[in-house]
Amino acid sequence: MDENQIVELTKARLGITSTIRDSYLSWIVKGVISELEKEKGIVLQENNAHHVMFCVDYATWRYQNRDSEGAMPRHLQYRMRNLIISAGGSGVDDV
């Protein structure tokens, strides 16, 4: 998965044009990718638009809700479940 591409798309979604938050966003993206691959068992493909955009949307939500205790939005929960199911069902109970 191309982390730089996801950082750039996340910045675009957030409306960030400077590079001042790149390091912070990069670590969020690394955490999202690691969680999806290692904890949820999803094999992410960088040429799959669904995978890339899910990472962007998940990283955006993480960035915007860093100080909040709110639950993950339903649309992200459903999309994550679909990714887990398409990966063979590993980790379905974790969502």
Over residues 3-10, the mean pLDDT reads 96
- In this prediction the pTM is 0.86
In the chain, the number of structural domains is 1
Q: Which two tokens stand for residue 44?
A: 């992410």
Specify whether the CB–CB gap between 76 and 58 falls below 8 A: yes
Q: What is the pLDDT of residue 89?
A: 52
Residue 12 has pLDDT above 80, yes or no: yes
Q: Which residue has the higher pLDDT, 88 or 41?
A: 41
* pLDDT reported for residue 95: 46
Helix (H) or strand (E) holding 40: none
